[in-house]
Amino acid sequence: MNNGFDLLFNNVIIYDTLFWGVKTVTEHPNLTNFKLENEEKYNLWSEFVVKNFGVENLTDENYLKFAPLYPEFSKIIAIGYATIENKDNKINRNLKIISEKTEIEILKKFNDVLEYYDNIGKSTNPRFEFVMCGYNLINYDIPVYLKKYAKYFSDDQDTRLSYMMKSYLSSKPWNSNIIDINSVYTMNSSLPFVGFKAMVETFNLKQADNVLSFEETSKYYWENIEQDEKNTMKKINLQLGNQINTNIQFVNKFRTI
């Protein structure tokens, strides 16, 4: 059990939190294309699906829905982040989306963001560390980010993993500076997580209109990216921004309980 509730119940921690999230899609539009372009990797995906879920689940639909969860079989197309300021005793959101042509460009820019907030912490005595908050940060965003980062930058002498990430990896689970919305919403129960939409409905959290679901993203991306890149990414980035905004609402709700 981590200390997510200790952080949530802290009335001012929202101002010391970096809300962020990764957006991924499949590397290929379908399994046929996947096999043609990288048969060795396609075989790895097939083996993984058949072994864990059964051969009947080796379908295009499941590939588009579930491969984005795994950094080995997906690509990052955006990373969003936000911080909160106190403006006239109200929370003021500062949200930005990093969306570039390649994963490397996205990762480099987000690494600069993490370094910026690391440096804020270095300037205080004792050292200050921002809390990280996300919807499924522990099981999705952080593993995706770290595996992709190691893939591209492990031999880069000029790029180093942020203190914030190293601190998380070396911390005990109950002592990490993380608010994982997916985890804390279970309220320490052993019941399965009921899902994003049910959480939003239960807490009456405001949502943007016409937002894609996570499961729809890859299909939408591959059906539209070549014809209309600008509007395709605009709609996907709306989903990412909406999720980050939902996380902010969640934290804001609990800090005054």
Question: How far apart (Å, rounded) are the C-alpha atoms in residues 232 and 226?
Answer: 9
Average of pLDDT values for 68-82?
A: 97
pLDDT at 2 exceeding the cut of 50: no
149 φ/ψ angles, rounded to the nearest 5 degrees: -60, -45
pLDDT at 51 exceeding the cut of 60: yes
Q: Which range in 72-81, 127-136, 189-198 is most confidently predicted, on average pLDDT? A: 72-81
133 φ/ψ angles, rounded to the nearest 5 degrees: -135, 135
Percent of the chain that is helix, strand, coil (3-state, to 5): 55, 15, 30
Question: Could you tell me the domains of the chain?
Answer: 4-254 (3.30.420.10)
Strands 17-26 and 131-134, by their bridges, are: parallel
Q: List pLDDT tens digits, range 156-213.
A: 767 788 888 998 888 876 678 899 999 899 888 888 888 899 999 999 999 999 899 9
Question: How far apart (Å, rounded) are the C-alpha atoms in residues 224 and 74?
Answer: 18
Q: List pLDDT tens digits, range 221-253.
A: 999 999 999 999 999 999 999 999 999 999 999
Average of pLDDT values for 50-77?
A: 97
Q: Residue 1 has what pLDDT?
A: 44
90: its two tokens: 């109200």
Q: 133 versus 195: which is more confidently predicted?
A: 133
Q: Which long-range contacts (CB under 8 A, 24 or more apart) does 105-109 make?
A: 106/76, 106/77, 106/78, 106/79, 107/76, 107/79, 107/145, 107/148, 107/149, 107/152, 107/153, 108/159, 109/79
Question: How far apart (Å, rounded) are the C-alpha atoms in residues 179 and 177?
Answer: 7
Q: Residue 193 has what pLDDT?
A: 80
Enumerate the β-bridge partners of residue 93: 84
Alpha carbon 110 to its chain's center: 12
**By mean pLDDT, which of 38-47, 59-68, 153-162 is the weakest?**
153-162
Average of pLDDT values for 218-223?
A: 97
Q: What is the pTM of this model?
A: 0.93
How crowded is the C-beta side of 83, counted as CA atoms within 13 Å?
12
Q: List pLDDT tens digits, range 92-131.
A: 999 999 999 999 999 999 999 999 998 888 777 777 789 9
